Amino acid sequence: MTFRIAPSILSADFARLGDEVRAVAQAGADLIHFDVMDNHYVPNLTAGPLVCAALRPHVSLPIDVHLMVKPVDRIIPDFARAGANLISFHPEATEHVDRTIGLIHEHGCKAGLVFNPATSLVWLDHTLDKLDLVLLMSVNPGFGGQQFIASALPKIAEVRRRIDKLGRDVWLEVDGGVKAENIAEVAAAGADTFVAGSAIFGSKDYAATIRDMRTRLGMVRRAA
């Protein structure tokens, strides 16, 4: 099993973002999770393609862009040019989900679909065979440091079943309230990629926190 840890820069020191991404890369991160909020689709405002492009030379890890913006299509080429490797969006934020997935691929990025806690997995019925990533929210999007919503666990298990049935390598990422204390449970449910914002950037020693997460992931046994 390959597990990936994706620190979310939402909880980093925005005045020192370059140093922060270098520090988590050095500490053993697998991806940089870049949260884009527009004060429209979600009630918060973060950073756009300019900041993504500014960070790109500081880190060789893939940049995992999580778009919490509406609409999404216009901004996708900008993020591709800014060096994004994966781009995920919420189905409620676009008029044409299939077209948006195609647009991300045309621009050379991997495509992900994001599910809020109350968003139905029905959206996967006609998309999973084209996706590289399914991102399940275990909090309502907009803020870091929220409590993990337990109803995400059976949903993770359901998506894991669908991915295994399809037999393609689709990453299953979980975002919101993930920390060392619950990462094993989230992995046992079927996730392979873990976003952690406050748990990593809120800790004193990023490397120790990521090591602790990996040790706990190393003990996970998944029900067949």
For residue 153, what is the enclosing H or E element? helix 152-166
Instruction: Please name which of 196, 192, 194, 185 lies closest in space to residue 159, comparing C-alpha atoms.
Output: 192
Which residue of 83, 91, 112, 176 would you call a contact of ligand DX5, by CB under 6 A? 176
CB of 142 to ligand DX5, least distance (A): 5
Q: Where are the beta strands (DSSP E) in the chain?
A: 4-7, 32-37, 63-68, 86-89, 110-115, 133-137, 171-175, 193-196
- Rounded (to 5) percent helix, strand, coil in the chain: 45, 20, 40
CB of 219 to Zn ion, least distance (A): 26
Instruction: Please name which of 123, 143, 155 lies closest in space to residue 197, comparing C-alpha atoms.
Output: 143
> Can you tell me which residue has the tokens 């059976």?
154
Taking CB under 5 A as the rule, does residue 90 contact Zn ion?
no
Residue 38 is among the residues annotated as catalytic for this protein: no
Which residue type sits at 205?
D
Residue 175 is among the residues annotated as catalytic for this protein: yes
Which residue of 198, 211, 212, 220 would you call a contact of ligand DX5, by CB under 6 A? 198
Which residue of 35, 64, 173, 192 would you call a contact of Zn ion, by CB under 5 A? 35
Q: Which is nearer to Zn ion, 209 or 219 (CB)?
A: 209
Q: Give me the residue whose beta carbon is nearest to Zn ion.
A: 66
Binding mask 111-140 for ligand DX5 (x = CB under 6 A): ----------------------------x-
Q: Which is nearer to Zn ion, 10 or 23 (CB)?
A: 10
Using CB under 6 A as the binding rule, the residues of this chain from 8 to 27 that contact ligand DX5 are: 8, 10-11
Taking CB under 6 A as the rule, does residue 172 contact ligand DX5?
no
Q: What is the dihedral of CA 66, 69, 72, 78, to 10 degrees?
A: -70
Contacts with 171 (C-beta within 8 Å, 6 or more apart), sequence order: 4, 112, 132, 133, 134, 192, 193
CB of 99 to ligand DX5, least distance (A): 23
Stretch touching Zn ion by CB under 5 A, among 13-21, 31-39, 199-207, 215-223:
31-39
Stretch touching ligand DX5 by CB under 6 A, among 71-79, 88-96, 159-167, 195-203:
195-203
Q: Where are the beta strands (DSSP E) in 40-164?
A: 63-68, 86-89, 110-115, 133-137
> Catalytic residue numbers?
35, 175
Residues that bind Zn ion (CB under 5 A): 35, 66, 175
